[in-house]
A and B are shown apart, each in its own frame.
Chain A
Amino acid sequence: MKELSLLLVEDNEDDRFLTMRVLKKLPFPVRVETARNGDEALSLFRAATESGLTELPSVVMLDLQMPKIGGLSLLARIREIYSQEELPAIILSSSDNPGDLAACRELGITAYLPKPIDLQLLQEALAPLSPLSLQNNVEC
């Protein structure tokens, strides 16, 4: 059984811990890599595209409020390289600011999840992307 590879970009340790905790509860296997800020995430992507040393994750999960490169500008940088089909993105935010939501939608996102993350919503967002469900779809 193949697992869903996932990159979590989150600056706050508590949030990282709590998100990881929810991710572990998912009914399908996920392999999570973490980046503690935008720079780390960008260097990971650079490694994946330029050297091919690392594999590109299936999904990227972004915290909106981060120091230096925020989630929104990071998403914009990602979308300069990868389309939404190549690299789906899920936004994690404690803000319900409609402006943020609209800006993210504009750039192309799969889901916009409020914190604290609800297991049900996360599962609904990730399930279609998991290799398991893709296989299922193919079989159907």
Chain B
Amino acid sequence: MAIIRKISAICGDRLRSSFKARLFAGITAIILVGSTVFATILFYQQYRSQRHNLAHEGELMARLLARDVRLAVFAGNRDQILNAAQGVMSFPEMQAVEVRDHAGRLLAQLSRPRDENLRYSEFRARIPGLLNREMEQSLLVGKAWDGNPENSVGTVRIVLNRSEADRQLRNLMIMALLATAGFLALGILSAYLLARSMTRPLSQLSAAAMALQGGDDQVHVMVETLDEVGRLAASFNSMVDAIRERKLELEKVLDDLNSLNASLEEKVRERTVQLENANRELESFNYSASHDLRAPLNRLAGYCEALEEEYGDRLDNQGKLYLERIKAVGEQMNRILSAMLTLYQVQQRELSWRSLNLSELVQAVCASVREVEREREVSITIQEEVMAYGDMKLIWLALENLLGNAWKFTRGKHPAIIEFGRTVLNGENVCFIRDNGAGFNMEYADKLFTPFQRLHNHEEFPGTGVGLAIVQRIMTRHGGRVWLESSEGVGTTCYFTLPEGPTAASAKTEESVP
């Protein structure tokens, strides 16, 4: 059972997966059923007519015998009866002959030995006493003549073996079977050929479609017929052509796009190189300017000193004041040059990343700032344990600038308040340095980070104008940001962000700086 189920499962799969198999199976089934039914009907008809013929023949022989022996029975001539019976027996299919009188007495009996393998049919007929014209006619036509028993003078009984009939029937059956088998074979062959001729273009189409899917746009299907399948193949071919054309167009567009991209990239590269060169030039200008300007400035300071030492006693007060101013201007210029150098160095420095306690750094910077102006009273509040990750020197420099600003701009405020801490702005951890100093108009806020942009008179709040630019560069180099919020006369808050732990950028530099 399991095997049958398995085979039927495989056949089912095959039928489901192959159109050819389905077509073939369908046609074969129709031919099988049709030829079987046809052969069966044919055979049945032949069998019926054979049977009918046999019956007819038997009856006819019985009736003929009955007529032949009528006069002899009348006359009681047994020899004549026997003679007639023997004549009948000469037929090879005759098994037995029996003639009885009207009282049932046996007048003649002849028989052959019985063969159990054969089948037999028995026929009886009455021997008519009178024979009229009507009877004579019905005798040959085969119309059953039962006659009047009163009128009958006896009965004849014959037994026929059906060997000949059966043989014929058997032959017929064999022929029918052979014909069916041949017909079936022919049918199956033509069904197979038909199925194949129908499905071959389809499988070719399928293979071509697979090849097309695989990227081969040169596939071509032979159009062998003009039927639906042929039309399908033709439209497949034109589809492949269309796809190829489309693909070529696409490739062309892609090529154009690529060359455009390449030229754009080339342009970007050129511009980048130009920009880098310009930047480098600017930086080296910055560097050499600060150097080259410092040397004459130092000479100026040297001559001031010489003048003061050698001619000081010969200068009047006005002259001494001028000398002081010259020295002060020189010092200011020196500070600016230092700031420019610092700006350059901040940009060039390789960062050495480490964890920093900002609170402690702020504390230390405040102490050093306070050292310069001990007489001022400034209230400084520092939130504890604010940590960050960065370059100690640069962060120190940034804090120095920011706290220096806060210190500077709270001059003249009583009490002066500076606050350092960390808060959350828009879900981001942000450090801040807040003062209640002079503040500024927010309209100019973006100018502050540009070097040498100042919002206050030098006399009012001295400075180089580079400090916030330095701070911004430091924060940017750490991947952070810095911005200011201020209101004139109320104070300024400087916000800045720094990494709180190692970042991708810091890891990269840390590898190169062990």
Residues in chain B near residue A116, CB distance under 8 A: 298-299, 301-302, 305
B220 close to chain A: CB less than 8 A: no
Q: Say whether A94 contacts B295, CB under 8 Å.
A: yes
Residues in chain A near residue B299, CB distance under 8 A: 12, 14-15, 18, 115-116
A21 close to chain B: CB less than 8 A: yes
B408 close to chain A: CB less than 8 A: no
Q: How far is the CA of A94 from the CA of B338 in the complex (A)?
A: 11
Given A18-B306, A21-B306, A116-B305: A65 in contact with B298 (beta carbons within 8 A): no
B244 close to chain A: CB less than 8 A: no
Nearest CB of chain A from residue B342's CB, rounded to whole Å: 10
Nearest CB of chain B from residue A118's CB, rounded to whole Å: 10
Q: Say whether A94 contacts B303, CB under 8 Å.
A: no
Nearest CB of chain A from residue B278's CB, rounded to whole Å: 23
Nearest CB of chain A from residue B300's CB, rounded to whole Å: 9
Q: Say whether B291 contacts A95, CB under 8 Å.
A: yes
Q: How far is the CA of A36 from the CA of B291 in the complex (A)?
A: 20
Contact with B along A53-72 (1 / 0, CB 8 A): 00000000000010000000
Residues in chain A near residue B303, CB distance under 8 A: 14, 18
Q: Say whether A94 contacts B301, CB under 8 Å.
A: no
Q: Say whether B302 contacts A95, CB under 8 Å.
A: no
Residues in chain A near residue B306, CB distance under 8 A: 18, 21
Partner of B294, one of A15, A18, A94: A94
The 6 closest A-B pairs by CB, nearest first: A18-B302, A115-B298, A116-B302, A94-B295, A14-B299, A94-B294
Q: How far is the CA of A130 from the CA of B303 in the complex (A)?
A: 27
Residues in chain A near residue B295, CB distance under 8 A: 12, 15, 65, 94, 115
Q: Say whether A65 contacts B305, CB under 8 Å.
A: no
Chain A contacts with B in 1-36, Cβ cutoff 8 A: 12, 14-15, 18, 21
Nearest CB of chain A from residue B390's CB, rounded to whole Å: 20
Interface residues of chain B: helix, strand, loop or mixed (majority): helix
Given A18-B303, A18-B306, A116-B305: A95 in contact with B298 (beta carbons within 8 A): no
Question: Which residue of chain A is the closest to B295 with respect to CB atoms?
Answer: A94
Residues in chain A near residue B305, CB distance under 8 A: 116
Nearest CB of chain A from residue B290's CB, rounded to whole Å: 9
Q: How far is the CA of A94 from the CA of B298 in the complex (A)?
A: 7
Residues in chain B near residue A65, CB distance under 8 A: 291, 295
A-B contact pairs, 16 of them (CB 8 A): A14-B299, A14-B302, A14-B303, A15-B299, A18-B302, A18-B303, A94-B294, A95-B294, A96-B338, A115-B295, A115-B298, A115-B299, A116-B298, A116-B299, A116-B301, A117-B302
Q: Say whether A94 contacts B291, CB under 8 Å.
A: yes
Q: Which residues of B contact A (CB under 8 A)?
A: 291, 294-295, 298-299, 301-303, 305-306, 338, 341
Residues in chain B near residue A21, CB distance under 8 A: 302, 306
Nearest CB of chain B from residue A119's CB, rounded to whole Å: 10
Residues in chain A near residue B341, CB distance under 8 A: 96-97
Residues in chain A near residue B291, CB distance under 8 A: 65, 94-95, 97
Nearest CB of chain A from residue B396's CB, rounded to whole Å: 16
Q: How far is the CA of A94 from the CA of B306 in the complex (A)?
A: 18
Q: How far is the CA of A135 from the CA of B341 in the complex (A)?
A: 44
Q: How far is the CA of A18 from the CA of B303 in the complex (A)?
A: 7
Q: How far is the CA of A116 from the CA of B297 in the complex (A)?
A: 9
Q: How far is the CA of A95 from the CA of B290 in the complex (A)?
A: 9
Q: How far is the CA of A60 from the CA of B336 in the complex (A)?
A: 32
Residues in chain B near residue A95, CB distance under 8 A: 291, 294
Residues in chain B near residue A96, CB distance under 8 A: 338, 341
Q: How far is the CA of A12 from the CA of B301 in the complex (A)?
A: 15
Residues in chain B near residue A115, CB distance under 8 A: 295, 298-299, 302
Question: Which residue of chain B is the closest to A65 with respect to CB atoms?
Answer: B295
Q: How far is the CA of A115 from the CA of B295 in the complex (A)?
A: 8
Nearest CB of chain B from residue A11's CB, rounded to whole Å: 11
Contact with B along A89-106 (1 / 0, CB 8 A): 000001111000000000
Residues in chain B near residue A12, CB distance under 8 A: 295, 299
Residues in chain B near residue A117, CB distance under 8 A: 302
Residues in chain A near residue B301, CB distance under 8 A: 116
Q: How far is the CA of A18 from the CA of B304 in the complex (A)?
A: 11
Q: How far is the CA of A15 from the CA of B298 in the complex (A)?
A: 9
Residues in chain B near residue A15, CB distance under 8 A: 295, 299, 302
Q: How far is the CA of A12 from the CA of B300 in the complex (A)?
A: 13
Nearest CB of chain A from residue B350's CB, rounded to whole Å: 12
Chain A contacts with B in 82-128, Cβ cutoff 8 A: 94-97, 115-117
Question: Which residue of chain B is the closest to A18 with respect to CB atoms?
Answer: B302
Question: Which residue of chain B is the closest to A100 with respect to CB atoms?
Answer: B291
Question: Which residue of chain A is the closest to B306 with respect to CB atoms?
Answer: A21
Contacts A65-B291, A97-B291 supplied; 20 other A-B pairs, CB < 8 Å: A12-B295, A14-B299, A14-B302, A14-B303, A18-B299, A18-B302, A21-B302, A65-B295, A94-B291, A95-B291, A96-B338, A96-B341, A115-B295, A115-B298, A115-B299, A115-B302, A116-B298, A116-B301, A116-B302, A116-B305
Q: How far is the CA of A65 from the CA of B287 in the complex (A)?
A: 14
Q: How far is the CA of A14 from the CA of B303 in the complex (A)?
A: 9
Q: How far is the CA of A18 from the CA of B341 in the complex (A)?
A: 25
Question: Which residue of chain B is the closest to A13 with respect to CB atoms?
Answer: B299
Residues in chain B near residue A14, CB distance under 8 A: 299, 302-303
Nearest CB of chain A from residue B223's CB, rounded to whole Å: 82
Nearest CB of chain B from residue A113's CB, rounded to whole Å: 11
Q: How far is the CA of A95 from the CA of B344 in the complex (A)?
A: 14
Residues in chain A near residue B302, CB distance under 8 A: 14-15, 18, 21, 115-117
Nearest CB of chain B from residue A29's CB, rounded to whole Å: 20
Q: How far is the CA of A18 from the CA of B298 in the complex (A)?
A: 10
Q: How far is the CA of A14 from the CA of B295 in the complex (A)?
A: 10
Question: Which residue of chain A is the closest to B338 with respect to CB atoms?
Answer: A96
Most buried by B among A14, A96, A115, A116: A116
